[in-house]
Amino acid sequence: MRFDFRTSSFVRLVAARVTELRAMSESKTLPSTEKVKEEVKEATKEAASDFVQSLRALVAGGVGGVCAVVTGHPFDLVKVRLQTAEKGVYSGAMDVVRKIMAQRGPLVCTTSRTESLV
């Protein structure tokens, strides 16, 4: 979800208010100060709500991306090892996992994960 100031509820409310004020100026009646203040407060609350929704969507997307990298990277490592190894080096995916664990230990998947996250 992208936040667009042109389509936000605040801008729509202000545009409607400007139209209303133009009509009132033709009839020479103006709204009370209290009414205008209340409408500005409502518009500000709606704009803040739109911003919070956009920020929430951004954070959710970031967390989803991190989860995808953390869970997918080990599988990708095994796949690349299988694809790039010469024939006969590995007998299958579990053989790749066993040999990686024996050579480098269980933290091998964390070495290049940082670049993927950035």
Q: pLDDT tens, 101-115?
A: 888 877 776 666 555
CA 101 to chain centre: 34
- Model pLDDT, residue 83: 92
The DSSP H or E segment spanning 48 is: helix 33-84
Higher pLDDT, 96 or 104: 96
* Residues 29, 12: Cα–Cα separation, whole Å: 23
pLDDT tens digits for 5-33? 556 676 777 777 777 777 776 666 677 78
Domain tally, the chain: 1
Q: Are 101 and 77 spatial neighbours (Cβ–Cβ below 8 Å)? A: no
The most confident of the ranges 55-59, 65-69, 72-76, 105-109 is 55-59
How far apart, in whole angstroms, are the C-alpha atoms of residue 118 and residue 8? Answer: 31
Mean pLDDT, residues 42-58: 85
57: containing domain: 5-117
Place of tokens 């009132």: 24
* Prediction pTM value: 0.52
pLDDT mean across residues, the chain: 80
Q: CA of 55: how far to CAs of 3, 44, 51, 95, 104, in Å?
A: 9, 16, 6, 44, 40
